[in-house]
């Protein structure tokens, strides 16, 4: 397995719409394993292929405390949504920024597993939020898109400053 680098907002590559996977092969399974390692390493709970610059509809997730319950979604599609909830979200592609986003409370998602078999999952709470957040990535959307223009400009400014500081830091051996 190998660790992949994560694109950071406002990278335009985060805006691309990912293509469906036609057949689940070892290539997708390898990508899923690498994405899972990348996500665990970055202490995230979800990661979409778009975030590692891969244009396919693949998402990995693990909401468990012990980090031993990985979930895989290939070509995920929300087939029903119900209610609404507001949750504070963060994103591996928008480091250090957290903001409240309103989303459906319950969703039913249909996807393929790593074995290529279709399955359906009913989710609520944080799992439902995470599914909606990651599918947004596959459609080229980032959670800060839901913020007011003013708030979004503040976020962009803060990130630019952060990125400049990262670059300015001397290399450490
Ligand atoms: Zn994200």
The protein residues having their C-beta less than 5 angstroms from ligand 1 (an ion) are 91
Mean pLDDT for the stretch of residues 92-105:
94
CA separation for the pair 99, 86 (Å, rounded): 10
Q: Quick one: tokens of 126?
A: 């944080």
Nearest CA among 164, 173, 117 for reference residue 8:
164
134 part of the active site: yes
CA of residue 48 to ligand 1 center, whole Å: 7
Q: Looking at 28, 69, 77, 134, which residue is catalytic?
A: 134
CA distance 138 to 49: 7
85-89 vs 71-82, strand pairing mode:
unpaired
Residue 173 CA, ligand 1 centroid: distance in Å:
31
> pLDDT tens digits, residue range 21-74?
999 999 999 999 999 999 999 999 999 999 999 999 999 999 999 999 999 999
Whole-number Å distance, alpha carbon 34 to ligand 1 midpoint, is: 17
Measured in residues, the chain has a length of 173
Measured in Å, residue 130 CA sits from the centre of ligand 1 at 8
User: pLDDT for 102-152, tens place per residue?
Assistant: 999 999 999 999 999 999 999 999 999 999 999 999 999 999 999 999 998
- Centroid of ligand 1 to alpha carbon of 91 (angstroms): 4
Q: Between the CA of residue 88 and those of 85, 102, 144, what are the distances in Å?
A: 10, 9, 11
Q: What mean pLDDT do residues 91-101 have?
A: 94
- Output the CA 142–ligand 1 centroid distance in Å: 6
| Residue 76: predicted pLDDT | 98
Q: What pLDDT score was predicted for residue 171?
A: 67
Q: Which residues pair with 123 in a beta bridge?
A: 107
């Amino acid at each position: 397995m190998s660790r992949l680098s994560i694109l950071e907002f406002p990278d335009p590559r985060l805006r691309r719409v990912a293509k469906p996977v036609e057949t689940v092969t070892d290539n997708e399974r390898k990508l899923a394993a690498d994405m899972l390692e990348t996500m665990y390493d970055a202490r995230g709970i979800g990661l979409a292929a778009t975030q590692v610059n891969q244009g396919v509809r693949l998402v990995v997730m693990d909401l468990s405390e012990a980090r031993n319950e990985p979930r895989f979604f290939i070509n995920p599609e929300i087939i029903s949504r119900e209610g609404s909830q507001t949750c504070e979200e963060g994103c591996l592609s928008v480091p250090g920024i957290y903001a409240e986003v309103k989303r459906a409370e319950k969703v039913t998602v249909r996807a393929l597993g790593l074995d290529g078999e279709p399955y359906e999952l009913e989710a609520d709470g944080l799992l439902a939020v995470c599914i909606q957040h990651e599918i947004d990535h596959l459609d080229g959307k980032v959670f800060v898109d839901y913020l007011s223009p003013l708030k979004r400009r503040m976020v962009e400014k803060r990130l630019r400053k952060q990125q400049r500081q990262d670059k300015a830091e001397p290399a450490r051996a």
